[in-house]
A and B are shown apart, each in its own frame.
Chain A
Amino acid sequence: MLITTQDLGVTAGETELFSGLDLAVDAGECLVVRGANGAGKSTLLRCLYGNQPPTSGSVSVCGGPPDERSAAFRRRVSVLFDDSALFDELTPRQHLDLLRNSFGGELAEGPVPAPDVPAAELSAGQRRRLLLHAAVARPHEVLLLDEPERALDADGRAWLSTLVRTSTGRGAAVVVASHHPPLADEVADYVVDL
């Protein structure tokens, strides 16, 4: 199993977000996490990336505890989180050049938005597409996507399903936190409601 959690729980202040969560996601599988705002979807993904220490239980990703600070871990786990950012001065083409020449990954199918326009001038949807391109282009065994459908148009959402299926098809374990029911219908092997 690439991702396992045992009795995982997180408490924020006096509010228990979730507890007793046992998950197991293997290579080529996709888990979709659903829930209302504040239910703990993003928190769960941060636990899987090592950004959020759990209140109880344990997490194992790629055979060990997750830790973003480790370069080796970053090479095996790719993410799209709220804190994902772009260099305002670089264009999408330059971003993807940086990524390809650094990680050596392959670009996913689908148009690169406004390839020669500085990122500072991109729309929210274009920025999201570029971040998705980057998340999938990085070599990964595990892919964590936090509400990836946000700001995407209908075509973009359809493309998102293709991206997830491509990633699982290459043998990655994918976890998606989403508010978009059709995405879960199209790509999920398992669904967790928080």
Chain B
Amino acid sequence: MKRPDLVLALVIAAGLLGSPFYNTELVRSQLIGGAPVGALGSLLVLCTGLALAWRATLRRGYLWTHPATLTWDDFDGQRPSALTHRLVLDWAARFGVAAYFFAVSGMLIGFPSSLVGPVVLFVVVAALALAMGRRRSFPGESLLPLTLALPLVVPLWTYVVTAAIAACALARSSPLPRTVSRDTLIRHYTERMVRRTSAAFLDVWALLPAGRPVPWRNALAGRFIVTRYVVTGTLARRYTLGLPVFLALAVVATHATFPAVTSVWLLGIGGYLGLLPFTAPVAQLHRVPGLRRWLDASNLRLHAVTCAFLCLLALIWAGVVLLLGTPASVSAVVAVLIAALAAVRSVTRGPLDFSSMGMVLYEGVLIPAGLVRQLVRGPDLLVLGLIAASFVPL
């Protein structure tokens, strides 16, 4: 990006991000409207933001090094400091975003009567996340951020003291930047490159989670083999179930804080992101011809079964979100179904076939309807579907 473009982008971003602070009434009317907001509103936003930032830190995305750099750093011993520096930067950015959203919610809804408790909670949770992020992971740790729902129901100081003790205990353990192996760093570097390429080309394939062994020996023995394959592939990725749980809580918290934001968009986007990992079984059949040969089913049947199964998962997810307090409507249900279809479309769109343009004559103009249909990606389908669900009365 050229310097003038960068300056323009920064000015626009600063204007948009700063608008809740200098144009508070207008933003409040857009996000909250006339709906009453509970006294816990900004604390809810704080806890949600902290949970998401904590969970992101636990992914330990800082543990990578370019193989060439790694070679030189191994000689002069800069590797631990470089990794720690990256960890701190990532951590600061995530918790900075959480702090920003807390400040915005405070401006729009009102801060709690005393800021001491929330600020101490912020500092302690940030310290705990940093302490955990710099040490080796342990089973089930990714669920710990869910405990941030507790400050809403138990005394805040009880949670703060417990978290502070845990942070102090973890601070003494051996730091991962010193002990992590060279192989791990290179493997993470490769995975990072694949993810970045995937993001650059708006292709979710490389972002999908790998499967883990399925302990049920007879999972694929019996009739309805396509359904069995889709369900087994989903069960192989059961370890990603935390994501839809987090997203459900984030949707509920966002709706509770900003009730003027239509639930169609919250449920649609949340459902899409939550379901995307479970499209991996059908995605891998599309991308790897050698795997496709294991299953004798037409693409139509495979897509139909996957869509049906993901729609079922979407309805269960939406049911949980609606039970937690998001207002139910036909549009909201339609939104999650659109999200399921868009998720499948995201991983099954094939290469363009210019021999099937599907030309249609409409009011004297030739429209390549077939080509337009091929061009529609999953996110496009999601946005178009949610716009329709927002405006069409259901």
Assembly CA distance A81 to B216 (angstroms): 29
Are the C-beta atoms of B298 and A138 separated by less than 8 Å? no
Assembly CA distance A177 to B218 (angstroms): 35
Are the C-beta atoms of A116 and B220 separated by less than 8 Å? no
Assembly CA distance A189 to B295 (angstroms): 32
Q: How many pairs of residues, A versus B, come closer than 8 Å at their CB atoms?
A: 74
Are the C-beta atoms of A83 and B289 separated by less than 8 Å? yes
Instruction: Return the contact of B229 from the options A81, A83, A98 (Cβ within 8 A).
Output: A98
The answer to whether residues A102 and B294 also contact, given A89-B236, A116-B217, A118-B213 and a CB cut-off of 8 A, is: yes
Nearest-neighbour CB distance to chain A for B349, whole angstroms, equals 16
Are the C-beta atoms of A89 and B293 separated by less than 8 Å? no
Q: Nearest chain-B residue to A98 (Cβ)?
A: B220
Are the C-beta atoms of B219 and A101 separated by less than 8 Å? no
Assembly CA distance A87 to B229 (angstroms): 11
Contacts of B212 in A (CB 8 A): 89
A166 at the interface (CB under 8 A from B): no
Are the C-beta atoms of B295 and A102 separated by less than 8 Å? yes
Nearest-neighbour CB distance to chain B for A133, whole angstroms, equals 12
Contacts of A86 in B (CB 8 A): 291
Are the C-beta atoms of B220 and A85 separated by less than 8 Å? no
Of the four ranges (under 10, 10 to 19, 20 to 34, 35 or more), the interface on chain B belongs to 20 to 34
Are the C-beta atoms of A85 and B211 separated by less than 8 Å? no
Are the C-beta atoms of A101 and B221 separated by less than 8 Å? yes
A94 at the interface (CB under 8 A from B): yes
Are the C-beta atoms of A97 and B213 separated by less than 8 Å? no
Q: CB within 8 Å of B: which of A47-95?
A: 68, 71, 74-75, 78-79, 81, 83-91, 93-95
Are the C-beta atoms of A102 and B296 separated by less than 8 Å? yes
Q: Nearest chain-A residue to B301 (Cβ)?
A: A71
Are the C-beta atoms of A98 and B223 separated by less than 8 Å? no
Assembly CA distance A116 to B213 (angstroms): 10
**Residue-wise interface mask of A (14-51) relative to B, using a CB-CB cutoff of 8 A (1 in contact, 0 not):** 00000000000000000000000000000000000000
Are the C-beta atoms of B217 and A101 separated by less than 8 Å? no
Are the C-beta atoms of B294 and A99 separated by less than 8 Å? yes
Assembly CA distance A85 to B294 (angstroms): 9
A134 at the interface (CB under 8 A from B): yes
Assembly CA distance A71 to B214 (angstroms): 28
Assembly CA distance A116 to B226 (angstroms): 21
Are the C-beta atoms of A84 and B229 separated by less than 8 Å? no
Q: CB within 8 Å of A: which of B262-284?
A: 284
**Residue-wise interface mask of A (129-162) relative to B, using a CB-CB cutoff of 8 A (1 in contact, 0 not):** 0000010001000000000000000000000000
B210 at the interface (CB under 8 A from A): yes
Nearest-neighbour CB distance to chain A for B195, whole angstroms, equals 19
The answer to whether residues A94 and B211 also contact, given A85-B288, A102-B295, A138-B293 and a CB cut-off of 8 A, is: no
Instruction: Return the contact of B296 from the options A74, A90, A97 (Cβ within 8 A).
Output: A74
**Residue-wise interface mask of B (201-236) relative to A, using a CB-CB cutoff of 8 A (1 in contact, 0 not):** 000000000111110011111110110110010001
The answer to whether residues A97 and B290 also contact, given A89-B214, A90-B214, A102-B295 and a CB cut-off of 8 A, is: no
Instruction: Return the contact of A102 from the options B213, B218, B225, B288 (Cβ within 8 A).
Output: B225
Assembly CA distance A87 to B212 (angstroms): 10
Assembly CA distance A79 to B294 (angstroms): 11
Q: Nearest chain-A residue to B300 (Cβ)?
A: A71
Are the C-beta atoms of A97 and B218 separated by less than 8 Å? yes
Are the C-beta atoms of A71 and B211 separated by less than 8 Å? no
Nearest-neighbour CB distance to chain B for A153, whole angstroms, equals 23
Are the C-beta atoms of A71 and B296 separated by less than 8 Å? yes
Q: Nearest chain-B residue to A96 (Cβ)?
A: B220
Contacts of A84 in B (CB 8 A): 290, 293
Are the C-beta atoms of A98 and B290 separated by less than 8 Å? no
B11 at the interface (CB under 8 A from A): no
Among the interface residues B220, B222, B289, which one has the most CB atoms of the partner chain A within 10 A? B220
Assembly CA distance A116 to B223 (angstroms): 21
Are the C-beta atoms of A101 and B220 separated by less than 8 Å? yes
**Residue-wise interface mask of B (221-253) relative to A, using a CB-CB cutoff of 8 A (1 in contact, 0 not):** 111011011001000100000000000000000
In the complex, the 5 A-B pairs of residues with the closest C-beta atoms, listed nearest first: A89-B211, A85-B290, A97-B220, A101-B225, A89-B236
User: What are 14 A-B contacts with C-beta separation under 8 Å?
Assistant: A68-B289, A78-B293, A84-B290, A89-B210, A89-B214, A91-B213, A94-B219, A97-B220, A98-B225, A98-B295, A102-B226, A102-B296, A102-B297, A134-B293
